[in-house]
């Protein structure tokens, strides 16, 4: 998959998650990890080892409730 296609796929998954949360009136804070190395490292560190990809870092969107990992949008 080309980088641009991958970025578009990530963006669509993020939009799907936001729409789901809004439709279900679930309060959330959207964190843009592209703008913060600290937030990106926090996400990488807090995704459980069994949920991390075999190679590379986990990609957004990743779902957390506070510090508790809730899953990934697939």
Residue 2 predicted with pLDDT over 90: no
d(CA 22, CA 57): 27
CATH of residue 37's domain is: 3.40.30.10
Q: Give Cβ neighbours of residue 28 (< 8 Å, ≥ 6 apart).
A: 18, 21
Q: Residue 18 corresponds to which tokens in the numbers above?
A: 């936001």
Q: How many domains, the chain?
A: 1
Residue 73 pLDDT: 64
Determine the structural domain holding residue 28 and report its residue range. Answer: 3-72
Phi, psi of 63, deg, nearest 5: -110, 130
Residue 7 predicted with pLDDT over 70: yes
The share of the chain scoring above pLDDT 90, in percent, equals: 80
């Amino acid at each position: 998959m080309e980088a641009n296609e991958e970025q578009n796929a990530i963006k669509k998954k993020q939009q799907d998650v936001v729409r789901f949360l809004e439709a279900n009136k679930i309060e959330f804070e959207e964190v843009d990890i592209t703008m913060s190395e600290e937030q990106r490292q926090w996400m990488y560190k807090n995704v459980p080892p069994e949920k991390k990809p075999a190679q590379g870092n986990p990609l957004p969107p990743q779902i957390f409730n506070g510090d508790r990992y809730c899953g990934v949008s697939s």
